[in-house]
Structures are given as C-alpha cells and as structure tokens.
Amino acid sequence: MSSLGENVKNYRRLKGWTQEQLAEAAGASVGTVRIVEQGGNASVEMLNSFARALDTTTSSLFATEVPSPIEVDSSEGPRLMELRRALMPPVGLSETIMEPDLPVDVATIQRDIEDQHALYRTDRYDSVAKKLPGIMRAAETAVATSDEGEDRQRAIIVRAMAFLLAGKYLTQVRRYDMAYHALSRGIQDARETGQVQLATNGVVGMGWLLLRQDRFDEAEQLATRTADSVEPRMSKATPGELAVWGELLQRVASASLRNNRPDVAREARRMATTAASALGREHMDFREHWATFGPVTAETKVVEDLALIGDARGVLSRADDGPVGGKALKKLGR
C-alpha cells in the first residue's frame, strides 16, 4: 500500500510536473512538497491544495500508515470516567454489568436533555459533561424497567435523544470514538421506534463526525443517500423537515469541497439555500434537526467555502451583502 508521500509523488508524476511546478500550482513552498513526499506530515488543508492542483480528490492522497503517538492529558481519564461508564458499560455473556439507578420519569429525563442542550448551545460544555452521565443512566434504566408497548417505545425514543446529545458533546470535544458509539446507538434507537426525523438528525451528526475525522468520501455518501431518502415536498414540509434536509446538504457540500469535488459542493450548497429560503428565517429545534439552520446559516457556509479555497475577495463581497449583512441578520433571526 502506498504511503501519503508516495501518493502525492505519483500524482505529480502523472501530471508530468516537477516538485517546483506542484508547489507553484498548490500555492506551497518547494520545501513543503519535498517534506510531504519524503514522508513528512501535512495538514488536510495542504493536501486539499495539492488535490486541487493535481485534479484529484483529497481522499485519494490519504494513506494508511502508523499514526504518530498521541499525547493524552493524564487527567482525561478521570474527567471522562463517569460518562464512559454510563455510555459504554462492561458487557458479559448474559447481560450488561451495571448497577441500575432508581427509575426516573421519562418526561423528566426529556426535560433534562432539553436543558442540557440549551447549555450546549451557549458553550457551557462543563455543565453538559457533568449532567450527561446521570441522563444516560436514567435513560437506560427507563428502557430496562418499562413495560412493553407505548411506554417502552417512549423510553427508547428518549434514550435515542440522550445518545444524540452525548454524541454531539463528544464530537465537539474531539472524543471521536466515544462520539461514534453514542451517535450510532442513537440512530439505531430512533430507527427501531420508527422515528425517521430523529434518526435523520443523528445522521447529520454522524456526517459532522466523519468530516472531523477527514472521512470525506463516507461523509458525502452518507449525507447524499439520506438526503435523497428524506427530501421533502416544499409545499407540505414542516420547518424541521426542511431544516434537517438542508443540514444534510450542508454535509454533502462540506465533504465534497474538502475532497476537491467543487461541482458537487456548489450544487449541494444551491439546494441547501433552497431549503433555507423555504424556511424564511433561522430555525432551531434539536429534537428535529441538529443545529440552527436557515438563510443566514446557509450563506455563512458559502462564505466559509470561499475562505477554504482562499477567495478573500469573495469572502469580503458576500460578508457585506445578503443574508449575513448586519440588517439581514436581525431580520432573519440571528
């Protein structure tokens, strides 16, 4: 299997370029090209620049190699211990090995989830981290002690919401393996109970996680397939349906642009703008979609795209006018 450096070198030679020519086309120094081709590290942003210059996808330059050792803060284990126990309890031959908590009313658990999500939105991550273990244990106990039928369905739905909140928090703080576990469990619970909107919400979160892991192909494919499955009829769609569809399209655009597929990214951004325009203003309901979505969010992502490809003039032009201008922000609910 080729290394990252060999991949860059092979694509450069296919173009018939010298290292100097690749450096010029990618806006990099010759020294950077040499370091990468000799096995040195490179940021994803630099690889994206190489991919644009070489007319290939960013993912095609990636390689499976021995990763560099990660220095972990020695205090991380104790800080995350309670959440690990609640989210990933030991599993034996018969049943999960954990001490059940006293049952808590499902409505109370849901209110706690909503309260913590409100804190998450204001960046109060410490508060969320402290409350999440108790919420997760309460949700698990609610499912374990519920009767069959509607009570159990409701408990599983609330557990799905708890998993998605945990996945959102863990992705934000870069605990990606734990986040994947939480998001996948949340999506599975939502699917089991027929909650398509909630499951789709989880898929948006999964797409965000994949993006943060630089898994661009998978993020694009997952979001594209899901968006095709849940595309709403504009005349009858609820705000939540429009928002979650728009968020999926945002994931498609972000992944494809970072993977040097600009045509796909532009089309996805166009469709996301259509969803945002149908909403008319910014909308937020975490039970139905992942984050705030509307005209301002859609335009902000377009500006981010311009910044990513180094179009400073485009950034300034769009930042002064349209949905992200000062007057429009107030009108559109941001």
Residue 154 lies in a domain: yes
Q: Are residues 177 and 292 in the same domain?
A: no
Q: Are residues 221 and 140 in the same domain?
A: no
Domain final position from 144, 160, 194 = 194
Residue 202 lies in a domain: no
Q: Are residues 223 and 160 in the same domain?
A: no
**Domain containing residue 225:** 213-334
Q: Are residues 95 and 56 in the same domain?
A: no
Per-residue burial over 179-202, b = 16 or more CB atoms within 10 Å of its CB, e = otherwise: bbbbbebbbebbeebebeebbbbb
Q: Are residues 187 and 222 in the same domain?
A: no
Domain final position from 159, 194, 229 = 194
Q: Are residues 227 and 187 in the same domain?
A: no
How many structural domains comprise the chain?
Answer: 3
Give DSSP secondary structure letters for 187-256.
Answer: HHHHHHTT-HHHHHHHHHHHHHHHHHTT-HHHHHHHHHHHHHHHPPPTTT--HHHHHHHHHHHHHHHHHH
Residue 201 lies in a domain: no
Residue 250 lies in a domain: yes
Q: In a structure prediction context, what are the per-residue pLDDT tens digits for the chain, which is 334 residues long?
A: 468 888 899 889 998 999 999 999 989 999 999 999 888 888 888 899 999 999 999 988 887 654 454 555 545 556 788 999 999 888 887 766 566 667 889 999 999 999 999 999 999 999 999 999 999 999 999 998 888 889 999 999 999 999 999 999 999 999 999 999 999 999 999 999 999 999 999 999 999 999 999 999 999 999 999 999 999 998 899 999 999 999 999 999 999 999 999 999 999 999 999 999 999 999 988 888 888 999 999 999 999 888 888 878 878 877 776 666 655 555 555 5
pTM for the full model? 0.84
Tokens read off for 166: 């945990």
Q: Are residues 170 and 272 in the same domain?
A: no
Residue 203 lies in a domain: no
Residue 308 lies in a domain: yes
Q: Are residues 57 and 79 in the same domain?
A: no
Residue 126 lies in a domain: yes
